[in-house]
Structure 1
Amino acid sequence: MLIDNYGRPWLKLRIVVNSVCNYRCIFCHFEGQGKFLSRELSAEDIGFVTSVAKDLGVDDFKITGGEPLLRKDIVKVVDEISRIGPKDLSLTTNGYFLDIYAEDLLSHGLRRLNISLHSLDRRKYSFITGVDALNKVLENIDYVSKLGFRQIKLNVVALRGLNTNEIPMMIRFAAKYGFVLQLIELMPMGEGFPVFARYYDDLSDIINWLNKHGKLLGTRKDLHNRPLYEVDGVRVEIVKNYNNPTFCAGCTTMRLTSDGKLKTCLYKEPVVDLWPYIRTRDREGLMKAMIYANSLRKPNFVEGSSGDLSRIRIKVRIGNLVY
């Protein structure tokens, strides 16, 4: 296991498998990489990288994008990672294509799903995602709930004045299926940067509500010291990353970009280019590059830091409603 200079182990690898998406979410950070990159790792490339990472003690892999289910070979990608025998293999998706791929993904080793569901109101969902697809996604959620995945999480980015009043409704929806609910703080990254001041919510009101209506179970020490709550039988995870030294102190993750670079942090550079070693299947060279990347890891937010929330406020209209 690799430990960085701040005592944090590297346990998890987020794998960005493509740089395209069929949604246009107003807050998308695109995993800190560019859109429409010219080079894309093959399924075999990804399998090679994950096998080396596993040798270094990384045993938890999450597939993301873009929208990963836009890759025609996404089942092969899952199969390549599954072959190395990871402790955990999950995938984050907007849910649009789950009716096509979910069964094959499960049969090839995928065990967990994260499904983005930022509103249960059709107009709000369409505004947030840029796609009028709520009904289709809800049908797909109902479908995959019966397939036997070990765990399904609903990802909700909290947007002030837009969807934060839906949290009790989201909890009831998650309870219906036995899902985990993950509430995520808006990040001033990518598309989220210009709308940050308008929609940023520090989650304090939500946390107060959770304390009143549920109970604190503890924190996820293996992943950003995330607080865990239980409300009406539903586990609720809080992803409060912005200007949060506690979150950074518990970081155990790096990101593999879709063109073969290793990002030490969503918010910052540097990145280490792994492509020369991937292309030539240089196992020793790749291992050394990963060890070097781990040595560059450092918290983005530290005690005493402060965030700048001064951005232009924007009004938007959804039907007859103005936000």
Structure 2
Amino acid sequence: MSFPGAAKLAGTRPLTDLHLAMRSWFAETARVLPWRSPDCSPWGILVSEVMLQQTPVVRVLPVWEDWMERWPEPADLAKEPSGEAVRHWGRLGYPRRALRLHAAAVAIVEKHGGKVPGTHAELLGLPGVGDYTAAAVAAFAFGQRETVVDTNIRRVHARLISGLALPAPSLTASEMRLADSLMPDDIELSVRWNASVMELGALVCTARSPKCSDCPVSESCAWLAAGEPPPTYTPKGQAWHGTDRQLRGAVMAVLRVADSPVEPEWLERPATDLGFAAAGAAVPLAALHRLNFPPEQLERALEGLVRDGLAEMHDGGLRLPA
């Protein structure tokens, strides 16, 4: 075993036993999700992986299903304006992910004949696809032996191997070496290992209230053996209320339902009922106004949305990109 901690992983229990225990647990308890279906296309898996970044499954499911019904293949999305991707992204948050998926669809059509490429290197060449997403799609869509490391996997590794309550605030090279050393040599088992450890982190080995009694490998956990030491730092969640992110989200909610460009003045202060009707955005406009953001913050948010390609000016108003 190349990583020192891996040898201590299970005390006297071989690492192969952990692989098999996790595979059995996953087979019995894994959530039934559409992107895990054998019938799901590589495109569907790519879409799911992008949507699931920093977003819970329960919020992703209806949006993913809508996307796959509208755009079952990359070519279906590529022929649409990028603004349609943003519109149907809904309230998943971080809508630049929608733009990246649209750009990836265009690249798949132009460079890969409309089919999601099947190697890590080719996937990494798609717009907006980073190391994690490339590894996840290569593993889950194409059955390749790739080391997949997300927040849930990092937390399981930190507790199971390193005896830490939480992983480091950001991914380290040491964590990647550890993850590589834990991977099964068998290709099929490596895919299941990635999926099962990720599922364990999502359902059992959670950040705040781990359900250790339900863990299939609890007897091998270094953190439990150490007496469950507390975290060495206090995680800081992202602020929302009063932030530019909240304001940008409120503006995007208006643009997604507006049937014509929205004049900036309507965003700054309550418009007439006629104006609301013309924009087709009465409800989200009213919600935006209730937030009562200062004009300078609204101006900054609008400039940022245009700069990021999430909105554009047209006929004196703001709309989703065409």
Larger Rg computed on CA atoms: 2
TM-score, normalization by structure 1? 0.28
Larger proportion of strand: 1
